[in-house]
Structures are given as structure tokens and as C-alpha cells.
Amino acid sequence: MLSVFLFAANAVLPIVAVILLGFVLRKSGFLGEKFFADANRLMFKVALPAMLFYNIYNIESIADIQVSTLVFGVAAVTVLFLLGLLFSVLFVKDPKQKGVVWQATFRSNSALIGYQLAETLGGAAGLQCISLLSAFTIAQFNVFAVIALSVFSTNGHPDWKKVIKGIVKNPLIIAIFCGLAVLVIRSFIPENADGEKVFMLQTAFPFLYTALKQVAGIASPIAFLVLGGQFSFKAIKGMFGQIVSGTLLRVVAAPVLILGAAVLLSKYTNLFSFQAAEYAAFVALFGSPVAVSSAVMAKEMNNDEQLAGQLVVWSSLLSIFTIFITVCVLRYAGLL
């Protein structure tokens, strides 16, 4: 049990440490407001899109995933999206905070934490499962996030033309669909005698592939640094209820609801038959804290970035314990 707790802590505490570094650098005056504003734009328009494209590009084949697993994952994100909408309408008053709590309900940090978590819990099979699932669910996250952050910022009367335009022009969504397009095109590329594709970016243009990898590599550390620079303890007092509710929705309600549904559907229906690899992927996808990019997008779309940042930090801290409990329960039940 101790090893499970240490794993959860080691997966999340590095994030908290870099966030703390950004906080210290901002408070000490070593880095100024302009740096964090520029870095925020760099993250949203360059680094995060590069990371998403790179991760999808490196998936071996979409055909490897079970259709039932994909259907369940996409349906689960949709259910959380609808539950988040209901909660925000009923319990959150500030229009600029409604969308932030809404997106926290369904949008997890699977891109930064989930891959390592799934591999540790499910081995190579778990890593492949989360990679293939993420090719679709991360696109969902970003489309739904644009909707969530647009609807209430216009006082409940959204300009749907503007919302659709925001989705189409969103750099993260563009990167995801470019990555998926490359996967489809790659499936038609012939293989040589050794079973390798005759044309791959890393072999045909290795300098481009290396550059892409390096740009993708800066996404996580800069995102955490920027988040720390924008973090304020003074803001907690004015939004305590929203922080508690958003955090609990993400790291308690979401994994309990979705993993519980997965167990019941697998046990009592013939439509789903999930194994350890799938459960590892589901823990990574639905048990991870709020996505760091949610704070970046909240600022870019004129929502409450302070609340978005608070939700990332506190859900990351609490997820150390909730991931530990989730893994213990699944292992005790013989599912991991």
C-alpha cells in the first residue's frame, strides 16, 4: 500500500513543486507580469498544440483500441460534461466562474499525468490504451471547454456562431485533428520488408521531428511555472465554495461515478469486458486532477483564471490521496 501512495505522491508532487517555483519567482520579482502573460500565450498557441500533436503522432495505430472501450470513454466524458453543466447552473452564481467549474468537472490532466499513471498501473497495454483513448477524449475536452467557457461569459445567451468559430480556431483542437489526420494518412503508407513504414517524419525529416519533440517538451514545465506565477492565496477567501466543489467534482465524484459504471457494465452486461489495461486507462483519464491547460484557456477566453488556477493546484494536491484510494480499491477487487 505504501508503494501505491508513494507513486501517487511522486506523480503529482513534481507538478506542485514547479507551481511553487513559479509562485516564488513571481512574488520575489525575479519574473514580472509581462513574462507570465507572454508565456501564457506561448503555451496556448504553440507549446500545448505541439505536445498534443506529438503525442497523437506517436500512437502506433487507432485500430488497436477496442470499440467498446472508446465508446465508453467518449460517453463518460459526455456524461461528466452534462453533470458539470447542471451543477454550474444550479450552484455557481458568477457567470465567469460557471464555465470554469463546469470544465473542471470533465477536463482531466490525462495529457501530463495520465500517461505515466496508466503505464505504471497497466504496463505497456495500459499506456497504449490511454494513448488511443486520449486521441479522442482530449479533442472532446477542448471542444467542450470552448463551449463551457463561452456559454456563461455571455450571460447565458451565447452567440453560437462565435462559439463554433472559437472551436474551429482553437489551437489545441487544430493540433488534435491534425494529429488524427496524420494517423489516418499513415495507415495507407506501405511498409518495407522489415515491417516499417517507408515514410515517417522521424526518418525522412529527423530535424523537424526533433524540433517538434523539443517544443512539446517545454509544455509541461512552462505551464506549471505560469500557473504558479498567477496563483494567489488571497483569492481563496472569495471563492472557497467554488474551489471545494470544483475540486471534489474532479477528483472524487468523477472517478467514483465513471469507474463504478465501468465495473457494473463489465460485470452485468455483454457489451463491455474491461481488463486491467482498460481500468488503468480509466483511472488515468478520470482520476487525474484538473488539466493545467484549463487555466491557460480560461485566461485566453476571459473567464476567471484565478479560480481555474486554484482548481488545478488543489485538485492536484487532493488527487495524491484519491488516486491512492482508487488504486487500492481496484486492486483489492482484482481489477488491477
The total domain count for the chain is 1
Compute the distance between CA of residue 130 and CA of residue 185 in angstroms, rounded to an integer.
21
Looking at residue 40, what is its pLDDT? 80
CA-nearest of 63, 68, 73, 66 to 272 is 68
CATH number of the domain at 69, please.
Answer: 1.20.1530.20
Compute the distance between CA of residue 84 and CA of residue 88 in angstroms, rounded to an integer.
6
* DSSP character string of 201-267: HHHHSHHHHHHHHHHHHTHHHHHHHHHHHH--GGGGGGGHHHHHHHHHIIIIIHHHHHHHHHHHHHH
Tell me the C-alpha to C-alpha distance, in Å, between residue 4 and each of 23, 192, 320, 331, 334.
29, 43, 10, 10, 15
User: What is the chain's pLDDT, residue by residue, as a tens digit (336 residues)?
Assistant: 677 677 667 766 777 788 889 889 998 999 888 898 888 888 888 988 888 888 778 777 666 667 889 999 999 999 999 999 999 999 999 999 999 999 999 999 887 677 777 887 888 888 888 878 887 888 899 889 988 988 887 655 666 777 777 778 888 788 888 888 888 888 777 776 666 665 677 777 788 889 999 998 888 788 778 878 877 777 788 899 999 999 999 999 999 999 999 999 998 988 888 999 999 999 999 998 898 778 878 887 889 988 998 998 899 888 888 988 898 888 888 898
Q: Residue 163 is part of which domain span? A: 2-332
pTM: 0.81
